[in-house]
Structure 1
Amino acid sequence: MTGSEEMGAGIAEDPVVARRMFASADHILNGVALLCRLNNRDLSEEALKTGLPLVDGKLTLELVPRAMRRAGLQGHVTTATLGEIHKDLLPVLILLEDGSTCAVTDRMEDDFRIIRPELDEHTVTYSHDELAALFGGTVIYAGARDVIDGRADDITVPDQGHWLWRNVRANSTGFTEVGLAAALANLLAVVSALFAMQVYDRVIPNFAFSTLWVLAIGVCVAIVFEAMLRTVRSHLMDKIGRSIDMRISAELFEHVMNVQCAARPRSNGAFINQVREVEAVREFFTSTTIGAISDLPFVLLFLFVMWTIGGPLALVLMIAIPVIIGAGFLAQVPLAKLSKNHHKEASIRNGILIEAVSNPETVKAYQGEAGFQRLWEEYNQLLVKNSIKQRSLGSSLTYLATSVQQLSYVFVIVAGVYLVQAGSISVGALIAASILSSRTIAPLGQLSAIFARWQQMKTSLTGLNKVMQLPVDRPRGRQFVSRPALEGSYEFVETKFTYGKDEATVLDIPKLEIEGGDAVALLGNNGAGKSTILKLMSGLYFPSSGNLNLDGTDIRQIDPSDIRRQIGYFPQEISLFFGTLRSNLSFGLGHVSDEEMLAALEFAGAENLVRRHAKGLDRPIGEGGKGLSGGQRQSVGLARLWLRDPRIVLMDEPTAAMDQATETRVINNMENWLAGRTLIVATHRQPILRLVNKALVMRGGKVTAFGPRDEILNKHTGNKRTRTAPRGDATPQLATPVGTTE
């Protein structure tokens, strides 16, 4: 079969269906996944895209390097011709005119061997002319980034560098351009001093007006060019600052989203404040700071020129400069202490604010306003005092630099008069030296501000480093086991779990097996460990010791994307986000049709949320689901779960806040939907037991009984008249509430 014939075969026989499939496909993502596999980095498409800022749910060329980084590859997107694709760089991914992709795996003289993701990855041979007619001009190269081999030590593993300085170094070209512009601008700045010297020494004694105008025109041109260079430099510095800001903000937020749930700090306020410290880091790389730093090396240039012109007058500046720099270094110790205190107090104050604002009903109902007000004012007072001390110290350094600059000018003039009298220098040289003295000290005047920003940045960076060192779900260079089709069989082996190093064990399960397709009810008193075991089974938390196997594989080895795509976790507290009902239903799913959303709401007994509101699916939802009752939030959560269509369903009190009629309707709907799925549900509600065929009783974090539903219920309720009802039959009639253990 020829390349052109193969191109149109095997996608879909119906041309309408084929066009729809082609338009909806994420061709770049499919191609990147193929390129990773060709480089022996088998990563699922879900794993490649999870957490990335997709556009319309699809991967863009700008996101390709970030996606490939997850597979341990260095991605590079460029434009090229087919002739420029070197054989030694294969395989590469190329984009075609129709938006699809293909991988070039080999190149002969005039032929290319390619693989297309949508054609079951069969190898097809194309001539140069055939492929050139389809080629869109974009090429994606893949290079090794991480060494994934147990024999490789730290020396052989490529150093990724510090997360901040790596992003700063990415702008090395921009820094070079800034340095070049600064060099030219500072060289031109010397011209004004030389102009003054020539006028006083040569023009005035001879009244050479023609020479005066030539010099004036020359210095005006130099001033104009200096202004242009400084404008260009300012633009470059803004561009660098923006680039660094975007890079570190994106990497920081991606890391925060990837941090393991168990590793997150207990105080949300302190955690948020740590993340917000990126503002101080960004502030350090503003145009003002970069500009001041780029001017500092040219202090030596001005000193050299001044020594050449004024000789001993340069000694005045050689004394003044160490005074300014020394004062700045001496101030680092108190500045560091003040910055640390400011960071600590700001974290506490931020935590107080978030707690008070997040729970207004509780605060008001229990009259807790006074307590929060007192704490707020106490820490705010400490913060204000600390800020005043910081500003006072920074201002003192600035005033010192200004005073030293003025005194230097005075002493240059005074010393210069004696040198003029002695005939060592001319009057013009004295004037030029006085101008250069101000030019030389000026960059040092900004040094105090740089010192203050540096300490703030160091303190902020310490907090950010702690955040960036938190363990993540997907460590860089780690390859997980791909399990695209999970059945839902769980095995606990000597499994223990604690929420912190110094905390008591909240779960202790020596041995437990749950088969795929089982429907199990978790029963027990409050604090028995039901919610904790669900969190472990969902993959959001991992055992502190022992093992938890999912389908025979330790759950820590399975790709997190595979787990979250196939496991539907319904927590006790349903989190809804600011936006609309539509955005909350489609959360994490990309595009979902209105028909699917309405069907999901019907399933969850929440269709009235749309029917009785003028905006329908665009009904506004407040932060945390404000504006909806607890039962309505649970219904929206169930609808969202239904849309995900998981193979494994984990639910924690799914109907606890619903009225009886809604609960009955939801349970009826779930009976058919749960067929063929694995269900683990924690509940105190009797009607839920219709959905299960097994029951597991917990007490104090341990499993006290596990077996067929009716057998366990009869044993733990003492009700001999309990009617056995298989999964799907009527609810058993219990003499005592579910979850009560004797």
Structure 2
Amino acid sequence: MNALSRLFDYARQYRRDARLAALYSVLNKFFDILPEVLIGVAVDVVVNKQASFLARFGITDTMQQLLLLGLLTVLIWGGESLFQFLYEVKWRNLAQSLQHELRLDAYRHVQKLPLAYFENKSTGKLMAILNDDINQMERFLNGGANSIIQVFCSSLMVGAVFFLLAPKLALISLLPVPLILYGTFWFQRRLAPRYAEVREAAGVINGRLNNNLLGIATIKAFTAEEFEAAHIHDASEHYRRTNARAIQLSAAITPVIRMAILAGFVATLVYGGWMATHGEIGVGSYSVLVYLTQRLLWPLTGLADIADLYQRSMASIERVLGVLATPQTIPYEGRHLAAEHVAGRLEFDALSFAYADAPTLQDVTLTIEPGQTVAFVGATGSGKSTLVKLLLRFYQPQTGQIRLDGHDIQQLDLTDLRRAIGYVSQDVFLTDGSVADNIGYGLGQVSREAIVAAAKAAEAHDYIERLPQGYDTQIGERGQKLSGGQRQRLALARAILKNPPVLVLDEATSAVDNETEAAIQRSLDVISRTRTTLVIAHRLSTVRHAHCIHVMEHGTIVESGTHDSLLAQNGSYAALWRLQTGERSVLDSPPSLV
């Protein structure tokens, strides 16, 4: 199924609007052609007078015939203008509505795709699909669809008049039309892959620009402006070259079509004139045919632009519908579980997971009782964060199960599961809104009192009050007007306001100063008393009071226990503790020189 068929299949709800728009286009073209016919009739009236074509209908007076032609002209031009207004409004509204629905559907679908999908796609390429490619489709529907319909209708209508007035001349004059249409489709097939390359190249540029704008501080700090400008130059040059290949082919369409049109027009002009001088057709009919030949054939030069716009749009539509066709490997539907009824007991049973061919978790089994605070520590890449991502169902485990209050989380409604879990990560996501908007993010209508209470619990209230507009202060894109510690406290306040039965802190204090870490720790000591809390940390000082600490290495749990018991074991945890605190044990002491 080609891209256009897939688009029609997708846009079922707009088929009535599309049919009406097409009908208005056809009627507009019908009235658009009639003035040429009236010219021929007018010439016939002037030449033949009482013996003209109109005299057959009982109107023999020449002046009355001309007045009738004037009235018909007004009606025809009025009809043409009316239906032009109607088709433009209908096509443009259809383009806007379909663009709106397609963008929303594509975005909703992308949000439900697993994290693995985003690891293989750059943000810039997705932005190009969700924005630029959908806009290309809108441009085609705004004008291209109407142009295709009107060229087709023009060919049929003019062809009918030709065969009615001069069948022999019609066969000669209209002979180029099939060749023109075949040539246009021939060019289209060869343009399609070239425009697909153009859209890919546009995605690469978007990706590079998006990446550089997000990392502008680093680029400036490392004085890498010229280095990155060279990258943008290379990406833009690739885009220019791929566009040039498409332009070279699309530019050839119009000259080829023009030569075919010339043959048809010359045939009408010369052979039709010969027929008129020999009395085979009337002078009025000859005038009509000359005008109609121009009206039919010259607009066919626009097929080049239509074909170009069509192929650009189809390449874009193919990419958008490709995103919509990406399977959602993690189902959202399942057994409902109200957050207020969740106790927070977690069971990880023989859990294994690998990114591609790299094992990350291997046969992890443990149980966390409701209300416990459990920490996971270990070197980078040991599988700590992966455990949390599996709990949130960002990924699916290869083997094993995770159970929440005895329910396999794979069988639970995904929205219900995630509503039961509060998540604070090291990389805090904040929207371009106010402080209050970010604390209440995703929770609908929340009272200012509840927002302030959550901020106080996260020890964020004091610094928020010092901001220019307090809780109404706009914090900029990704919270760039705040410090790292301030952003982290806002994220914690957001999790507190959510009031989940399970709280997950994934390296939440790894990038903050000691004062902020101490403030966050005080907040956690309070809010973790009534809920199950999972803490992933590099700083062991933040987890020393946890009910249980699990040390992970190479995807497995190698040690478990309280802070004191793990120090007593003098194993991996004790070594990490000494490394971070600077303490030495007898085993760590250098050999005596005496």
TM-score of the two chains, using structure 1 as the length reference = 0.71
Query: CA–CA distance in 2 between the matches of 1:223 and 1:662?
Result: 75
SS at match of 2:426: coil
Instruction: Give 1:464's aligned residue.
Output: 320
SS at match of 1:627: coil
Instruction: Give 1:669's aligned residue.
Output: 523
Instruction: Give 1:268's aligned residue.
Output: 123
How far apart are 1:504 and its partner, in Å?
A: 0.9
Query: CA–CA distance in 2 between the matches of 1:163 and 1:531?
Result: 40
Instruction: Quote the sequence identity (%).
Output: 26
Instruction: Give 2:68's aligned residue.
Output: 214
Q: Deviations over 1:677-705 (max 9, x none)?
A: 11110123344235521111101121112
Structure 1 unmatched runs, 5+ = 1-160, 723-732
Contact 2:465 2:471 in 1 (8 A): no
Instruction: Give 1:657's aligned residue.
Output: 511
Instruction: Give 1:334's aligned residue.
Output: 190
SS at match of 1:621: coil
SS at match of 1:712: helix
Give the counterpart of 2:489 among 600, 625, 635: 635
Instruction: Give 2:368's aligned residue.
Output: 514
Instruction: Give 2:436's aligned residue.
Output: 582
Give the counterpart of 1:303 among 120, 145, 159: 159
Instruction: Give 2:54's aligned residue.
Output: none
Matches for 1:188-587 after TM superposition, within 5 Å: 188-206=31-49, 208-264=62-118, 265-276=120-131, 277-402=133-258, 404-472=260-328, 475=331, 479-484=333-338, 485-499=341-355, 501=356, 503-587=357-441
Query: CA–CA distance in 1 between the matches of 2:550 and 2:23?
Result: 72
Q: 1:419 to 1:600 in 2, by over 3 A?
A: same
Contact 1:492 1:509 in 2 (8 A): no
How far apart are 1:384 and its partner, in Å?
A: 1.7
SS at match of 1:171: helix
How far apart are 1:632 and its partner, in Å?
A: 1.3
Q: Deviations over 1:418-473 (max 9, x none)?
A: 11233221111111111221232355333222322232233223322332233337
> Which structure features the higher share of helix residues?
2
How far apart are 1:343 and its partner, in Å?
A: 2.1
Stretch of structure 1 that moved more, 177-186 or 611-620: 177-186
**2:473 paired with 1:619:** yes
Q: 1:193 to 1:719 in 2, by over 3 A?
A: closer
How far apart are 1:414 and its partner, in Å?
A: 0.7
Query: CA–CA distance in 1 between the matches of 2:289 and 2:175?
Result: 15
Contact 2:44 2:283 in 1 (8 A): yes
Contact 2:385 2:506 in 1 (8 A): yes
Instruction: Give 1:737's aligned residue.
Output: 580
Query: CA–CA distance in 2 between the matches of 1:592 and 1:563?
Result: 21
How far apart are 1:403 and its partner, in Å?
A: 5.0
How far apart are 1:407 and its partner, in Å?
A: 4.6
Contact 1:525 1:699 in 2 (8 A): yes
Q: 1:349 to 1:179 in 2, by over 3 A?
A: closer
Query: CA–CA distance in 1 between the matches of 2:563 and 2:579?
Result: 15
Q: 1:270 to 1:225 in 2, by over 3 A?
A: closer
Query: CA–CA distance in 2 between the matches of 1:173 and 1:623?
Result: 41
Instruction: Give 1:177's aligned residue.
Output: 20
Contact 1:717 1:736 in 2 (8 A): no
- Alpha-carbon RMSD across the aligned residues, in angstroms, is 2.9
Query: CA–CA distance in 1 between the matches of 2:188 and 2:82?
Result: 36
Q: 1:624 to 1:716 in 2, by over 3 A?
A: farther
How far apart are 1:204 and its partner, in Å?
A: 2.3
Query: CA–CA distance in 2 between the matches of 1:625 and 1:222?
Result: 61
Matched letter for residue 391 of structure 2: M
Query: CA–CA distance in 2 between the matches of 1:306 and 1:567?
Result: 74
Contact 2:26 2:149 in 1 (8 A): no
Query: CA–CA distance in 2 between the matches of 1:703 and 1:317?
Result: 84
Q: Deviations over 1:385-415 (max 9, x none)?
A: 3323433433432344455445533321111
Query: CA–CA distance in 1 between the matches of 2:35 and 2:295?
Result: 11
SS at match of 1:649: strand
SS at match of 2:359: coil
Q: 1:310 to 1:662 in 2, by over 3 A?
A: same
Contact 2:430 2:438 in 1 (8 A): yes
Matched letter for residue 394 of structure 1: S
How far apart are 1:291 and its partner, in Å?
A: 4.1
SS at match of 2:430: coil
Q: 1:508 to 1:315 in 2, by over 3 A?
A: same
Instruction: Give 2:532's aligned residue.
Output: 678
Contact 2:147 2:306 in 1 (8 A): no
Q: 1:719 to 1:199 in 2, by over 3 A?
A: closer
TM-score of the two chains, using structure 2 as the length reference = 0.88
Q: Which has the higher contact order (CA 8 A, sep 6+)?
A: 2
Stretch of structure 1 that moved more, 301-310 or 655-664: 655-664
Contact 1:525 1:739 in 2 (8 A): no
Q: 1:716 to 1:529 in 2, by over 3 A?
A: farther
Query: CA–CA distance in 2 between the matches of 1:496 and 1:456?
Result: 45
Query: CA–CA distance in 1 between the matches of 2:458 and 2:329?
Result: 31
Matches for 1:89-108 after TM superposition, within 5 Å: none
Contact 2:219 2:225 in 1 (8 A): yes
Stretch of structure 1 that moved more, 313-322 or 438-447: 438-447
SS at match of 2:343: coil
Query: CA–CA distance in 1 between the matches of 2:27 and 2:572?
Result: 92
